[in-house]
Chains A and B, each alone.
Chain A
Amino acid sequence: MKDILQIADKKFSSRLFTGTGKFSSNQLMSEAILASESELVTVALKRIDLEQKSDDMIKALQQPTISLLPNTSGVRNAKEAIFAAELAREALQTHWLKLEVHPDPKYLLPDPIETLKAAEELVKKGFVVMPYIHADPVLCKRLEEVGVACVMPLGAPIGTNKGLRTHDFLEIIIEQSTVPVVVDAGIGSPSHAAYAMELGADAVLVNTAIAVSNNPVEMAKAFKLGVEAGRMAYQAKLAKVTTHAEASSPLTRFLN
């Protein structure tokens, strides 16, 4: 049976989502994304020329396998996020949205209060909302209640490549969530991605680690394989980790 991820009305064969920032050219970005076999690619609305009919970045992403996921990077509160969402829907003809509200330009950490407010409003307006948030299990449940399509908790501050620093909280989120969990931000290597998948994440989103590697195309392939390996291991159920060898029933042998 094929392992399919469903978010809202879309089905994905690939559990690796990617981004478009930081590449040294649009050409390279497009090659790397194709090599990753990613089917959902996030793009910052602020980077797109909304007036120009054929924005260079968008042109480079026009592939039958790729769906665009506009994000609201640059907004500082719920009101701006809602405005940006409507602009994105208009410009890119999609009601899918990666909701990012980070008033702090230094670490780009998401504002939970404004994100929840905006998510509630945007779901009512018919958007498929994918919120970028801290690895906060309670916030995830609150977002679920207002109807988001998935949750996107961070593994570490965005762009840092530090891996799953929020590991303990991601485990709780994965255990509790009734919507798909996409680990976003901080994933710096294929082993991090594999680990997130082994924990039971439904997908991961990777950008910086691919874009700024010395060979983005090869790195994209490596991430694809990492995600697949992690997913396969999760489904095959990992053996338990023990600190000692287990003898075969030494305490209860007498009962046999």
Chain B
Amino acid sequence: MRKEKLYKRSGLEKSFEAVFNTYQWDEVLDSIYTKTAIDVERAINNAHRDLEDFKALISPAAQDYLEVMAAASKAITKERFGNTMQMYVPMYLSNECQNICTYCGFSLTNKIPRRTLTDEEILKEIYFLKKKGYDHILLVTGEANQKVGVEYLKNAIRLAKKHFSNVSIEVQPLLQNEYELLIEEGLYAVLVYQETYHRETYKQHHPKGKKSNFNYRLETSDRLGQANIHKIGLGALFGLEDWRCDAFFTALHLKYLQQTYWKTTYSISFPRLRPFSGGVDPKVEMTDKHLAQTIFAFRMLDKEVELSLSTRENEVFRNNIVNLGVTSISAESKTNPGGYTVEKQSLEQFEISDERSTETIVKMLKNNGLEPVWKDWEKFK
């Protein structure tokens, strides 16, 4: 499949949905679960791994090969990224949301105080994070087009770019011309996770709001590619469905996008649903071992893709995985609007597991022989 042009699978050019529709979830699932040790070994030894190899690497059969996979992932990462770790920090601007997402703290029907940061509050948060050393920032909102529409985002980017070299967003999916507007303003990357690539399960967890439209979300990265964005971040909320299958579709999405929008760079994130966290329980639990396996598999599939890990993961896991494939991490994150300085006590979108300070994380990275990189971007226009 390496040589196959994914966008040509359907006869339609430049549409991931068309490519996606040529796959059946159950067939993919079956194909992953029937991979054998021989398939895994072939995948490990293949110099040019393809999506079939990726299936083998995320399969149950690969669980006995974690040590070899870790070594491979570590070596590939070191070759491409050297001994460095990109640092970023999220900044929540608003918890207003018109969607119902069964797993999310900001879901429409949750009775929580809603807040959207004013310019003054945004600046207060910016100064705080800037002092910590951050230079790459991720602005996050819920989906509320009246209160946090394109104009609001444009203004927030304008405020942030004066202080940060690199500004990314994780907000509601937008139209191509809206992205173009924000890119013109200085936007670097957009993170948009499909949550799950299983249509029915997606519907079940997103019953109301604009987000309930599976296809519109699925095609977001095509709109971004056409807008010529610098970076697109992909991911699934692992656990909503069988995480192995969702990991495969995320990889398929990545390969399609790389072939179609070759000037754009990509990142993968690994949010996962945990059991007993008070919200929805995972349908198929992704354990620490599974998460590590998935990270190794992505790195072995793709040398260049940025792999990002948030503070959702615990200390021990993060201390060890930073040398094994991950290339960008956050620290000390708050997932509520104004969480750093303005309104520290408000409800967070999800629970943070690694609460260590930025200074402590930097020390941990240095102990691992890694140089934290704060700035790796400049707007050349």
Contacts and interface: CB of A to CB of B under 8 A. Distances in A.
Interface of A: 21-26, 44-50, 72, 74-76, 79-81, 83-84, 87, 103-106, 159-161, 208, 211-212
Contact of A208 (B82, B264, B381): B82
B262 A104 contact: yes
A83 B381 contact: yes
A50 B369 CA distance: 26
Give the interface size bracket for B toward A.
20 to 34
20 contacts: A22-B82, A22-B83, A22-B84, A23-B82, A23-B84, A23-B371, A24-B82, A24-B83, A25-B371, A26-B371, A44-B376, A46-B375, A49-B375, A50-B378, A74-B380, A79-B381, A80-B380, A80-B381, A159-B80, A208-B82
Given A21-B82, A106-B262, A161-B79, A84 B380 contact: yes
Given A23-B83, A106-B304, A212-B83, A87 B262 contact: no
A213 B366 CA distance: 17
A171 B165 CA distance: 41
A47 B375 contact: yes
Given A46-B375, A47-B375, A25 B366 contact: yes
B280 interface: no
Contacts of B83: 22-24, 211-212
A74 B304 contact: no
A105 B263 contact: yes
B377 interface: yes
Q: Is the interface of A mostly helix, strand, loop or mixed?
A: loop
B378 A45 contact: yes
Contacts of B347: none
Contact of A74 (B78, B370, B378): B378
Contacts of A211: 82-83
A208 B303 CA distance: 15
B212 interface: no
B102 interface: no
Nearest to A75: B380
Contacts of A49: 135, 374-375
Nearest to A44: B376
A5 B84 CA distance: 33
Contacts of B78: 212
Given A106-B258, A159-B80, A24 B378 contact: no
Contacts of A103: 262-263
B373 interface: yes
A45 B376 CA distance: 9
A210 B190 CA distance: 34
Interface in B341-376: 366, 369-371, 373-376
Contacts of A24: 82-84, 369-371
B81 interface: yes
A166 B67 CA distance: 36
4 closest residue pairs by CB, A with B: A22-B82, A24-B83, A105-B265, A80-B380
Interface centre among B366, B373, B381 (most CB of A within 10 A): B381
A228 to B, nearest CB: 26
A200 to B, nearest CB: 29
A83 to B, nearest CB: 5
Contact of B263 (A76, A84, A159, A208): A76
A105 B381 CA distance: 18
Contacts of A26: 371
Contacts of A44: 376
A73 to B, nearest CB: 10
Nearest to B374: A49
Nearest to B258: A106
B380 A104 contact: no
A232 to B, nearest CB: 31
A105 B264 CA distance: 7
B161 to A, nearest CB: 13
Given A24-B369, A106-B258, 13 more contacts: A24-B83, A24-B370, A25-B371, A26-B371, A45-B378, A47-B375, A49-B374, A74-B377, A74-B378, A80-B380, A105-B304, A106-B265, A212-B78
Interface string B8-48: 00000000000000000000000000000000000000000
Contacts of A23: 82-84, 371
A209 to B, nearest CB: 10
Contact of B380 (A87, A106, A161, A212): A87
B263 A87 contact: no
